[in-house]
Amino acid sequence: MSSEGVQISIIDDKYNSVIKRRELKLEIVSKSTPSRDSLRKILADFFKVPIECLFVISCITSFGTNTSICRVHIYNDAEYGKKIEPKHIQLRNLPREERKKLMSK
């Protein structure tokens, strides 16, 4: 599947019933490594979920390739996701301007 010139392949898709979240491992192929913010928007559109419910946990690109392996968590409720995900993951998923504002406080 592709979205905005980005190819998305699902490697692993599990539902964690204890934490009530969908845990995905994805292969993302694009011209360059997308930022977490843009990746979050692309994936929210791809999975048809609100962006607040989706958290990019990690995104690793091997040197010299255009392929990234990403781990993503999708929650049914955004507030529940904010309670579960660590603060540093929540900060990483914010747009750069918002992150700078929160970090300067």
- Which tokens in the block code for residue 17? 């019933």
**What is the residue extent of each domain of the chain?**
2-104
**What's the sign of the alpha-carbon dihedral 32, 102, 40, 84?**
positive
Q: Which fold would CATH assign to domain 2-104?
A: Alpha-Beta Plaits (3.30.70)
pTM score, whole prediction: 0.87
* Tens-digit pLDDT profile for residues 80-95: 999 999 999 999 898 8
DSSP labels, 39-68: HHHHHHHHHT--GGGEEEEEEEE-TT-SEE
* Tens-digit pLDDT profile for residues 1-22: 555 688 999 999 999 999 999 9
